[in-house]
Chains A and B, each alone.
Chain A
Amino acid sequence: MAQDETGRELGRHERYRGEFPIVVEGLTNAFGEQVVHRDLDLKVRRGEILGVVGGSGTGKSVLMRSIIGLQKPTAGDVRVFGRSITDSDPEDDIGIRNRWGVLFQGGALFSTLTVGENVEVPLKQFYPDIEPELRHEIARYKVMLSGLPEEAVSKYPSELSGGMKKRAGLARALALDPELLFLDEPTAGLDPIGAAAFDRLTRELKETLGLTVFLITHDLDTLHEICDRVAVIADQKVIAVDTVPKLMELDHPWIQEYFNGPRGRAALTAQALDELRKHMDEPVAAHAVKALDKPPAGKA
């Protein structure tokens, strides 16, 4: 069973009310000679969307796999909902496993099941006493909650586009009404419109369902738009965790290059223009956008 801040056992039907649902301390991951993480610390606050960034091969996915117990770390401690993942028997983790949902990079949908049946898998596994009628209903509204059209329920993953697969994977991740949601590069491979829509969906779901979101991403727009804080992984550690504006003031070469590079600035300008539109009258904003002229004026 999970525990709250004070070490009290969390009831089976109780939501976690502590401040930090994920606490990583002194995490070290090494594959043979190659050290991915050394003494990595990270705390995720309840109710935030934490973006995790880092260059390719810095171990963002390995960090996520360590937190959800797929990767046994070489050293260190990972506590999720106050309960250590690292030194427990996987069998005992079941009390925690139904409190999180994971969206893998490719969606990882079971290819022989339809989308609806995919969503039912965790429900059947954890709560076999739910009647099929209710289970079907749950699967159906979860699919629609993820922004898929209702006819997608009976389609096989191979019949879906990349963006729809991600949404279907999200529906399965949300099947058990988790408190914690792990997203591994959710907008990778989506067109900008689809990516923006997915970002909006993540934000909305987080607000509505009261989720804590651990989000691995390369997408600068995602970081600017929806992340409350961003953790930067470099030099085998989390070198900084803060809001994007604060991070940009830091004097670390990688962070500077990342956020102040051409792509980083473009994302920032786009966001500034959005803000402008929100605070100004419509015609004035349109004028301002025209005057700035630089980025193509998208839909206002």
Chain B
Amino acid sequence: MGGFAEYELVEGDDGGTALVLSGPYLVSTIGEIDQDLRGLDGPLDRIDLSAITEIDTVGAWMARWLANAHGAEITGASDRAKRLIGALTDAPADEDLSAPRLPVWERVPQAMGDKVYGARRGVYGVLGFLGALLVSSASLVRHPRRFRVLALVRQLELVGVTALPIIGLMSFLIGIVIAQQGAVQLAQFGAETLTVNLVGRITLRELGVLMTAIMVAGRSGSAFAAQIGTMRLTEEVDAMQTIGISPMEALVVPRILAAVLMMPLLGFYSAGVAIVGGAVVGQFMLGIPFWTFLLRIQEVVPLHDLWVGLIKAPVFGLIVALAGCYHGMQVKGNSEDVGLRTTMAVVTGIFAVIVIDAFFAVFFTEVGWG
């Protein structure tokens, strides 16, 4: 058996026209014949189903549609066909399957309005979150026994120790690139030896910390948002609250503290590895011996460059972790929101870090640490 769904128009003895349907009328066969059937010109008096071999609800729907469209009568239906046709109800055709959408000229201003309104609420939200964080930190200071040391250690490991290989590799390559590209430019003035100053100052002051912050935002900020967001979806956060555990203390404080503590260490480590990368380039391309390069760093890099890097690092850590935890706590609804919030955590984290870095640059130059 098998075959195709077919139809035929037959003139009856009484002058009426009958549409005879034959073959299987199933969801698998209807696709080829649907448009033809809909395009039939009336008038039809009868729809004969007696030659149909197999029928399912789709076939029944088609027969019903034809009968309604032409005001025709259904004949020769098997018990099954009768049952199926009887079970179907009229679905209004104008009800759209996709969620209702506004026309473009209303949608665009609405989206802009939502953004502006959302930005205001976002600022309130972040300030509120910061406030809640300060309150929980203060209450932890008063009740130090509630502090979760294990959670903190675990986060220190995740944010700091496990990030060492990737940050090391990244910094080493950046050191190489700065030294090599810098040397090419400086050679035009015959000042290749200044490559040491370039590598030392830029990594300790700016790039070490900045690149680390971006890496931590991508590694840990996103993880914070996704973890906390998923815990919100599974109502773990609500469960904590009912038991009397503050999610702020249990989830947010350890993560933020871990990022704040680890960032200076990671930033310093990153600058150190980058300088080693520069020294390798010095050894092989510039004719500056490896150890001489490292000794020169001590002489040409003022100590305040190190302080600039170390002061910025915890601030960056705070921003990145705050963005991650804040967006994680904002998750509601469905799994799509987790993804959205994770992206937003990384984007806002990195963006805020770069903006703050610009302010720091101006500030430190003004106070004479240029």
Q: Footprint of B on A, CB under 8 Å?
A: 11-15, 98, 111-112, 114, 116-117, 120, 123, 126-127, 129-131, 133-134, 136-145, 150-151, 153-158, 174, 176-177, 204, 207-210
Contact = CB atoms under 8 A, between A and B. Distances in A.
B335 A111 contact: yes
Interface residues of B, number: 41
B27 A138 contact: yes
B91 A140 contact: yes
B314 to A, nearest CB: 39
Given A120-B97, A151-B95, 14 more contacts: A13-B3, A13-B29, A15-B54, A112-B336, A114-B99, A116-B98, A117-B98, A130-B27, A131-B31, A134-B34, A145-B87, A150-B95, A157-B334, A204-B87
Given A130-B31, A131-B34, A155 B99 contact: yes
Interface string B61-104: 11001000000000000001001100111011101111110000
Contacts of B93: 137, 140
B22 interface: no
12 contacts: A114-B97, A114-B99, A117-B98, A120-B97, A137-B61, A138-B27, A138-B58, A139-B97, A141-B57, A141-B91, A176-B27, A209-B56
Contacts of A15: 54
A126 B1 CA distance: 21
Interface of B: 1-3, 24, 26-32, 34-35, 38, 53-54, 56-58, 61-62, 65, 80, 83-84, 87-89, 91-93, 95-100, 333-336
Nearest to A140: B91
Contacts of B2: 11-14
B30 A130 contact: yes
A154 B96 contact: yes
Given A114-B99, A154-B96, A154-B97, A13 B24 contact: yes
A82 B34 CA distance: 32
A127 B87 contact: no
A117 B99 CA distance: 10
B95 A130 contact: no
Contacts of B334: 111-112, 157-158
Given A111-B335, A116-B97, A136-B97, A210 B91 contact: no
Contact of A177 (B27, B53, B97, B336): B27
B31 A127 contact: yes
